[in-house]
Amino acid sequence: MKNNVYNLTFKDWEDYFVDKGDKKFKGQQVFDWLYRKRISSFDEITNIKKEIIEMLKEEFSMRTISITKVERDVDVNKYLFSLNDNEKVEAVLMNHLYGNSLCISTQVGCNMGCKFCESGRLKKVRNLETHEMVEQILLVEEECGKRISHVVVMGIGEPFDNYDNLVKFIEIINHPKGIELGSRHITVSTCGIVPKIKEFMKLPYQVNLAISLHAPNNKIRNEIMPINKAYPIEILMNTLKEYIQTTNRRVTFEYILLDGINDNKECAMELAQLVKGMNCYINLIPYNETNNISYKRTKSENISKFYDILKKNKINVTIRREYGSKISAACGQLRSKKED
Ligand code: SAH
């Protein structure tokens, strides 16, 4: 099978031409055509010899995914993509005051099995290739005509269960000669795959890390997130302390509030205790209810109470602003709607 142009990093492109006995400058030119001039066919390249263009055409594919559906709401667009093998994934574009942020998918389905999550209901079919992650950005920028300033890796899939493709993706979109997304504008969210967090902290990029915590103790977390049985909370927290020390960066904890499950006063106090002294902040997420799962969203007065307890304990905390609950923008909902 042909390789895809969006699988290659800047250095891969240089090496590709050097291996052919050519100049690495050619690789830099191709990178520029792909990410600055944003060509969608090799024929648009004008400053490289015909034979080389023919060689590229023979060896590489280019665009492989397409947008099959867009749902629009105030400040948010939700995209459904069709992949080469007809699988579907989603991305969500959010317009903030500070820029446009795109939430991308990393897998078709997910094997983490979080009880509250729609993506997990549909088991993992396969990992996305690096180029399929890159293409989500390119297609959305073309469709909406705006520059994406932030990328959050929080769509369908567990990014650390597709680690190598993810890292290559980050290297490509971060490169100053390409899309040039600043590493501080990239956030990766994981349910807590500890060995990969350890690898991630050694990377040379200043990418933000978010952890889907969702419970203050093993008892509750085991019930709603099976990954906790492999990497219990105390091991996760120790790893994150190591992460903060090594990288000198703040960690974000995501905490979905589920009515009657993880949202009482004791949970809030236990959570405050758990993260005390860590360089972190907590993002409280009002649960997006779905037809297929019976968890209910915590009432807003109880969300406020939970928030107040954390605040009183001097924890940095925000309540996530909601985008697109009308258009089923919660993780995996558009894809699953299609399939129901
Ligand atoms: N697998 C990664 C990234 C994808 S999920 C992770 O677990 O972090 C992105 C975030 O959306 C996670 O915090 C997840 O727990 C949350 N999420 C899933 N379903 C949700 C729902 N129905 N409402 C609100 N947040 C949800």
Statement to judge: residues 34 and 125 lie in one domain? no
CA distance 289 to 279: 31
User: Which of 58-67, 91-100, 118-127, 230-239 comes out lowest in average pLDDT?
Assistant: 118-127
Range of the domain at 29: 3-61
Task: Give me the CATH number covering residue 220.
Answer: 3.20.20.70
Instruction: Check pocket membership of 333 for ligand 1, CB cut-off 6 A.
Output: no
pLDDT beyond 60 at 32: yes
Return the best residue to mutate from 117, 292, 321 for the ligand 1 pocket (most ligand atoms within 8 A of CB): 117
- Do 19 and 74 lie in a common domain? no
Residue 339 confidence class, pLDDT cut points 50, 70, 90: very low
Cβ of 208 below 6 Å from ligand 1 = no
- Strand positions, DSSP E, the chain: 3-4, 60-61, 66-73, 76-82, 88-96, 99-103, 107-108, 126-127, 150-153, 186-190, 208-212, 251-257, 280-286, 317-319
Average pLDDT, the chain: 94
In this prediction the pTM is 0.95
Helices (H), ranges, 145-275: 163-174, 194-200, 218-224, 227-230, 233-247, 265-275
Residue pair 92/76 in contact (Cβ under 8 Å)? The answer is: yes
Q: In this prediction, what percent of the chain has a pLDDT beyond 70?
A: 94
- Here the CATH number for the domain that contains residue 57 is 1.10.150.530
- For 243-275, the pLDDT digits (tens) are 999 999 999 999 999 999 999 999 999 999 999
- Distance, CA 116 to ligand 1 centroid (Å)? 8
Domain shared by 246 and 290, yes or no = yes
Residue 186 Cβ < 6 Å to ligand 1: no
159: which DSSP letter? Answer: G
What is the per-residue pLDDT across 276-300, written as a single tens digit (0 to 9) for each? Answer: 999 999 999 999 998 889 999 999 9
Cα 56 from Cα 253, distance rounded (Å): 44
209: which strand partners? 188, 251
Of 117, 191, 267, 331, which is the active-site residue?
331
| 125-144 per-position pLDDT tens digit | 999 999 999 999 999 999 99
Q: Report the residue among 193, 331, 333, 335 best suited for mutation to probe ligand 1: largest number of ligand atoms under 8 A from its CB.
A: 331
Q: Show the tokens assigned to 136.
A: 């989500």
Q: How far is CA 79 from the centre of its chain?
A: 14
> CA nearest 268: which of 286, 282, 280?
282
Whether residue 34 is found in the same domain as residue 77: no
* Domain shared by 105 and 215, yes or no: yes
* Catalytic annotation present for 331: yes
Do 167 and 268 belong to one domain? yes
Domain termination residue (choose one: 41, 61, 81): 61
Residue 213 confidence (pLDDT)? 98
In sequence order, what are the residues at sequence separation of 6 or more whose Cβ sits closer than 8 angstroms to the Cβ of residue 193? 158, 160, 161, 227, 231
pLDDT at 338: 43
When pLDDT is cut at 50, 70 and 90, the band that residue 45 belongs to is very high
106 and 253: one domain?
A: yes
Per-residue confidence (pLDDT) for residue 118, from 0 to 100:
87
Number of domains in the chain: 2
Q: Which of 32, 61, 90 represents a domain boundary (last residue)?
A: 61
| Helices 233-247, 265-275: crossing angle, 10 deg rounding | 40
Same domain? For 285 and 169 the reply is yes
- Whether the predicted pLDDT of 325 surpasses 60: no
